[in-house]
Structure 1
Amino acid sequence: MDVLDLARTQFAVTGSLHFLFVVLTLGLAPLIAIMHTRYAVTGKPVHERATRFWGQIYVINYALGILTGLVMEFQFGMNWSGLSHYAGDIFGAPLAIETLGAFFLESTFLGLWIFGWHRLPRWLHVACIWVVTLTAYASAFWIMVANSFLQNPAGAVERDGHLVLTDFGALLTNPTLTMALPHVLGAGLWTGGFVVMGASAYQLFRRTAEREFFTSSLRTGVITSLVGSLLAVGFGYAQFGVIAAVQPDKFNGGGLAGLGLGLMIMIGQLIQLLILFVLAPTVYWLPRWRWTHPVLMAITPLPFVAAILGWLARESGRQPWMVNGKLTVADAMSPGLTSGMVTVSLVAFAGVLALLAVIDYVLIARTVRRGPAAVTLGADAPADPTERAHALSH
């Protein structure tokens, strides 16, 4: 491969691996916030245990996802300085807002939530996880604003050899954003629901002593998957009209974009039919049917596969443009790159991200296997019983 193909491959590999973490984060965050709210309202220990168990899985995925995101940031400066020069004033602004606003707020309040168990007043503690959820969604919004600008550079004109923003409102109401964002958020709920469902099925298949806990969790996973699939599939099809208007030849050429799109649609339709006509109608009995649990475990990776295929279809279908109709991928590359340089960075970055993905899987699998009794999140209660009582009563 030449240097351009190597650079594109590097971004595709690292972007795909990073998105695996992102899509699970978007799916689990609202579930944990709802679980914690139920605990705050009812005071029932079962909701506290659910919040802590699934919350620990969220924290593991979030922490390792941050590291993969840092690798993504390096690539813009190393390989794509032409993009920064030509469209950095516009493309960089949403990324800066996401980093300085949403990301730092999310990390700060997640830290407060992690270490606030039995210390913060009850409703303040709940507020922390809701801020985490809202800022996670805000991060997704600003990332999609930046990506949608590459798909359709709305509100920008070229002056003196680079793009200048003339209409901020057009940037935020870009049609490639308004339909794609709900699709991505739905994919997140779909993925989070499948992970909860698959992990619960694993424990139930093992005849766990925590049968009531994982029965409730499996039903939660099915319902969440139903909501997520309706959003993902519905807004997925809704995008075709937008794509036809701004990128009429996106999928006509076939190749990776057409293949990825076709496989994504096939997986999405298959699982939506499965959820609508099999899982949702039998959600009450499903935890008791042990023969179904291996099937639920086997289909758990499918939303991840569909998410990666969708991302590849969205990006590769824009070729040869980096900024659609304005800047080609070749012109966006940094000058002076050699095949050797990109090959070394490709191997290094892909190796690091693959290792992080494996560590993420191992840690989450270990947490699932050990069950809620072994969870460490929120287990460090204050030594002073008076302090604990005060925190729980507010």
Structure 2
Amino acid sequence: MSNLLLARLQFGVTTVYHFLFVPLTIGLVFLIAVMETAYVVTNNETYKKMAKFWGKLFLINFAVGVVTGIMQEFQFGMNWSSYSRFVGDVFGAPLAVEALVAFFLESTFLGVWVFGWDKVSRRVHLLSIWLVAIGTTLSAFWILTANAFMQEPVGYVVRNGHAEMSSFGALITNRQLWLEFPHVWFAALATGAFFVAGISAYHLLRKNSVHVFKRSFHIAATIAVIASLLVAVVGHEQAQHLVTAQPMKMAASEALWNTSPEHAPWTVVAGINSADHKNSFAIQIPYALSILAYNKTQGKVEGINQLQAQYVKEYGPGNYIPPVAVTFWSFRIMVVAGGLMILLALYGLYASMKDRLERSRRFLKTMVIAIFLPYLANTMGWIMTEIGRQPWAVFGLLKTTNGVSPTVPAAMVLTSLIGFAAVYGVLAVVDVYLLVKYLRQHPDAPLEHPTQTAKDSASAPSF
């Protein structure tokens, strides 16, 4: 295999693996902040137990996420030096702000929160977890500022073969950013909410600390409903933006080989024949794609073949068609997973409000399995976003083939890929072991400590 193929494989492995932890970090800390706010406002110890219990799981996820993020930076420097040189003058500012402000904000006040129980006032302690939540959100914002530039370059000039920032304001007001960021952030809230709801369902099935996990489930279901619905709304707006910003990605996600001049049908499923640039079969809903793209039954949607001819004229000879089958199916898997999340969240909130959770054992078992739904949706969304942009690393400016490190041989990339995979495998085992170990405990369980008094044993676990 070539160094380009191996570098792309390594990028995909490290990015997808790292993004398993990021949404849960962003979403779970928000739920913990809500729980501790309820504790400070009501002085109800149950909310304190909830914040401490979910905080332990958050810390495990946060620690592994940091490690995987650092390793992702290594592979950029090793395998994508040409890409790094091209975008470095643009990415420098947002990534510096992310590291120096957002990451230090969340890591510093996370320490205050972990070690500050009963050492600082309740309000200061509450402020610390909200600052962690703000820090994780800001971190996502600045990372997505860089990614939005890759999708839709703005605020730059090209000098001496690389992009230079000409307007920081244009970078942070990028239309792509303000659709991509809320979509990712609401998806992260949904991930945290389904994580809490699923584990709460696990304990409710076993009747562990029912008072704690019924309240945890109710908070999680409420946030899951709001976040899942808003993901769909913002995702719809983002898809409409693709019609003009990245029409080839839009066409590939719909397997639309030829332009539909007025009434574009939406393809539910299709047999995609990329070699012949056609679909062997398709189940379609008339007018639906025009409605999705323009909120009306009439609207022209460009096809893959016509866009390919247009891009050849604009950018020169080459293949500008992304892997259509992967883009098409990843989009649909994301949509189906998101739809199931909305339905489960709505029913979960209804059952919680009607106090029917403990009687709905089949639903509780479903919610345990549904923990994986947002992970599936998040992963498929990023696959569609990044693969649908191909062959561009930076749309319209730098092709992926020109971003790879020219002097790094394939053998070296393969060696580092194996090394990363081995480390990631170890991290996966450690992460799953720790999560399972601590999620099986429940807040009312006594602490195991040789010097603990009987009174202390009856209290909630502390960090």
TM-score (structure 1 length as normaliser): 0.92
Q: Which residue of 2 aligns with 1:280?
A: 349
Q: Which residue of 1 aligns with 2:159?
A: 159
What is the total number of aligned residue pairs between the two structures? 376
Gaps of 5+ in 2: 253-323, 453-463
Q: Distance in 2 between matches of 1:338 and 1:308?
A: 29
Q: Distance in 2 between matches of 1:258 and 1:351?
A: 31
Query: After the TM superposition, which of the residue ranges 162-171 and 132-141 deviates more from structure 2?
Result: 162-171
- Alignment-mate amino acid for residue 349 of structure 2: A
Q: Distance in 1 between matches of 2:4 and 2:93?
A: 26
Q: Is the 8 A contact 1:251 1:258 kept in 2?
A: no
Q: Which residue of 2 aligns with 1:245?
A: 244
Q: Is the 8 A contact 2:239 2:250 kept in 1?
A: no
Query: After the TM superposition, which of the residue ranges 147-156 and 244-253 deviates more from structure 2?
Result: 244-253
Q: Which residue of 2 aligns with 1:386?
A: none
For residues 375 and 135 of structure 1, do their structure 2 counterparts lie closer, same or farther at Cα, with a shift above 3 Å needed?
farther
Q: Is the 8 A contact 1:52 1:375 kept in 2?
A: no
Q: Which residue of 2 aligns with 1:316?
A: 387
Q: Distance in 1 between matches of 2:184 and 2:325?
A: 23
Q: Which residue of 2 aligns with 1:179?
A: 179
1:352 aligns to 2:423 (yes or no): yes
- Alignment-mate amino acid for residue 170 of structure 2: A
Q: Which residue of 1 aligns with 2:147?
A: 147
- Alignment-mate amino acid for residue 38 of structure 2: R
Q: CA deviation at 1:211?
A: 1.1
Q: Which residue of 2 aligns with 1:387?
A: none
SS where residue 408 of structure 2 aligns? coil
Summarize deviations over 1:281-337 as a string: whole Å, max 9, x none: 222322432232211111110110110110111111111111111011111111212
Q: Which residue of 1 aligns with 2:370?
A: 299
Summarize deviations over 1:358-378 as a string: whole Å, max 9, x none: 3222211211111113598xx
1:363 is aligned, of 434, 437, 440, to 434
Q: Is the 8 A contact 2:95 2:146 kept in 1?
A: yes
Q: Distance in 1 between matches of 2:165 and 2:421?
A: 34
Q: CA deviation at 1:354?
A: 3.1
Q: CA-atom RMSD, angstroms?
A: 1.7
Identity of aligned residues (%): 43
Q: Is the 8 A contact 2:243 2:250 kept in 1?
A: no
Q: Distance in 1 between matches of 2:414 and 2:133?
A: 37
1:265 aligns to 2:264 (yes or no): no
Q: Distance in 1 between matches of 2:351 and 2:117?
A: 36
Q: Is the 8 A contact 2:205 2:358 kept in 1?
A: no
Question: Which residues of 2 match residues 43-122 of structure 1 at below 5 A?
Answer: 43-122=43-122
Q: Which residue of 2 aligns with 1:330?
A: 401
Q: CA deviation at 1:234?
A: 1.1
Q: Distance in 2 between matches of 1:252 and 1:360?
A: 39
Question: Which residues of 2 match residues 13-24 of structure 1 at below 5 A?
Answer: 13-24=13-24
Q: Is the 8 A contact 2:46 2:211 kept in 1?
A: no
Q: Is the 8 A contact 1:112 1:128 kept in 2?
A: yes
Q: Distance in 2 between matches of 1:180 and 1:375?
A: 44
For residues 47 and 280 of structure 1, do their structure 2 counterparts lie closer, same or farther at Cα, with a shift above 3 Å needed?
closer
Summarize deviations over 1:154-187 as a string: whole Å, max 9, x none: 1112122111212211111111110111111111
1:133 aligns to 2:203 (yes or no): no
Q: Is the 8 A contact 1:218 1:287 kept in 2?
A: no
SS where residue 157 of structure 1 aligns? strand
Q: Distance in 2 between matches of 1:279 and 1:21?
A: 24
Q: Distance in 1 between matches of 2:374 and 2:391?
A: 28
Summarize deviations over 1:223-248 as a string: whole Å, max 9, x none: 12111101211111110121111111
For residues 287 and 232 of structure 1, do their structure 2 counterparts lie closer, same or farther at Cα, with a shift above 3 Å needed?
farther
Q: Distance in 2 between matches of 1:111 and 1:229?
A: 31
Q: Is the 8 A contact 1:202 1:297 kept in 2?
A: yes
Q: Which residue of 1 aligns with 2:271?
A: none
Q: CA deviation at 1:204?
A: 1.2
1:343 aligns to 2:414 (yes or no): yes
Summarize deviations over 1:64-101 as a string: whole Å, max 9, x none: 11111110110111111112211200023211211111
Query: After the TM superposition, which of the residue ranges 101-110 and 264-273 deviates more from structure 2?
Result: 264-273
Q: Distance in 1 between matches of 2:329 and 2:175?
A: 24
Q: Which residue of 1 aligns with 2:226?
A: 227
Gaps of 5+ in 1: 382-394
TM-score (structure 2 length as normaliser): 0.78
Q: Is the 8 A contact 2:155 2:168 kept in 1?
A: yes
Higher helix content, 1 or 2: 1
After superposing on structure 2, the runs of 4+ consecutive aligned residues of structure 1 that deviate more than 4 Å are none
1:168 aligns to 2:237 (yes or no): no
Q: CA deviation at 1:205?
A: 1.0
Q: Which residue of 1 aligns with 2:312?
A: none
SS where residue 281 of structure 1 aligns? helix
Q: Is the 8 A contact 2:60 2:435 kept in 1?
A: yes
Query: After the TM superposition, which of the residue ranges 364-373 and 133-142 deviates more from structure 2?
Result: 364-373
Q: Is the 8 A contact 1:27 1:191 kept in 2?
A: yes
